Amino acid sequence: MSGGGVGTRTRVGKYELGRTLGEGSFAKVKYARDVRTGNSFAIKILDKQQVLRHKMVEQIKREISTMKLIKHPNVVQIYEVMASKTKIYIVLEFVDGGELFDKIANHGKLKEDEARRYFQQLINAVDYCHSRGVYHRDLKPENLLLDSYGTLKVSDFGLSAFAPQIREDGLLHTTCGTPNYVAPEVLNDKGYDGTASDIWSCGVILFVLMAGYLPFDEPNLVTLYKKISKAEFLFPAWFSSGAKKLITRILDPNPHTRITISNILADEWFRKGYKPPYFEHGEDVSLDDIDAVFNNSEEHLVTEKKEKPESMNAFELISRSQGFNLGNLFEKQLGLVKRETRFTSQCPPNEIMSKIEEAAKPLGFNVRKHNYKMKLQGDKSGRKGHLSVATEVFEVAPSLHMVELRKTGVLQEFFFGPERYCLED
């Protein structure tokens, strides 16, 4: 977390905010520490105006209420919800083992037994949430986290697709998701059942875990959609017959004949080494904080305050510096996905921000600034979509600043599709 003197930390209630863990079109996720206990959390930050503008209040309130009641070893836990005048803060379990995406990107395909173990945990999580009426709608390896023990945790369950509309026919009608993982019925815009579409995405994930690449992957979206609608793909030679049989039943383009979770749980290949999840149900959960947040109760509002660039102590500087990072001892440098870069400067922070802005504008970037953070958004769409770069300035010492630049909205490297898009009706 941040070092330095008074006024250099960002605080929200009892939480001290740190580095950005992830960023999407609707939200940003930051590392947070409870200053009283020292425990680590992740805080998802939503813009209140966006929530109101998209008429998402009731949807989000319902989803968060349901997710607070869900306690499952393979689903990221929600602890509490807070709000300031402009933002909503969702306090989540901090999962420290990284994305399953990075494990595949760094080391390639998994062995069949390991892939099956992760798939079993994924199905356990999906089955449990479906039984409580919660659907993910954006299942992909980037939303599957690993804790320090290698346990899979599904993130954003019920929170990833914030604007689905259920019409009179009882079906969802918003095309949400990463194209390569999306079920055919989601793409044809005739409404779809969230249960069956999540199962399809699980099948694509299993294929990717075992193959190291996507079953449906075309640079042209029209061609991609045609292949998905016909379930047109080929198995690699190393897939066992049991795995091929199960994946074929999951990647059935007809949602009415697609295998159900109860039949997946009974499948012979799936059941090898299967351990049903163990978790306790007890413990009452309060939903009072959610009501307070969405009822605009003034007495429950928190403030987020930060007057100067976030300071950094020596340990943080070492952990963020490529040369000193002990994590490098445990990573294969070949194939490592590079999503960020850092450099230091002795210039004042305002001057650093101005110089980055001067350099970015002639290259066609639109610039948005807030405190000592800047968002650079490319105005031209390339083969990988719009490039977006998040920039932040940290104070290392009174006369030394570190600048961090991070790609946030660009097609992920290797074999994964674009970050989630959401085309509303």
pLDDT of the residue at 5: 40
CA 296 to chain centre: 27
193 is catalytic: no
pLDDT of the residue at 390: 83
Known binding residues: 44
CATH topology of domain 312-414: TATA-Binding Protein (3.30.310)
Structure tokens at 172: 């969802």
Alpha carbon distance 197, 136 (integer Å):
9
Residue 153, Ramachandran bin (φ over 0: left; ψ between -120 and 50: alpha; else beta): beta
The predicted-structure confidence for 151-181, as pLDDT tens digits, reads as follows 999 887 766 544 333 334 333 334 344 688 8
Structure tokens at 183: 């079920």
pLDDT of the residue at 49: 77
CA 97 to chain centre: 14
According to DSSP, the residues that pair with 305 across neighbouring strands are 11
Alpha carbon distance 221, 178 (integer Å):
12
Check if the beta carbon of residue 279 is closer than 8 Å to that of residue 73. yes
> What number of CA atoms fall less than 13 Å from residue 322's CA on the CB side?
9
Which amino acid is it at 191? Answer: G
Alpha carbon distance 81, 261 (integer Å):
31
pLDDT of the residue at 47: 82
Q: Model-level pTM? A: 0.64
pLDDT of the residue at 4: 38
Top CATH class, 100-281? mainly alpha
Catalytic residue, from 102, 127, 138, 193: name it. Answer: 138
pLDDT of the residue at 376: 82
Alpha carbon distance 407, 411 (integer Å):
10
Positions of the chain with pLDDT under 70: 1-9, 24-26, 54-55, 158-178, 189-193, 280-284, 291, 294-340, 379-386, 396-399, 408-425
Check if the beta carbon of residue 419 is closer than 8 Å to that of residue 143. no
pLDDT of the residue at 251: 95
The predicted-structure confidence for 335-348, as pLDDT tens digits, reads as follows 334 466 777 777 77
Contacts of 188 (CB under 8 A, 6+ apart): 229
* Domain ranges for the chain: 100-281, 312-414
pLDDT of the residue at 241: 95
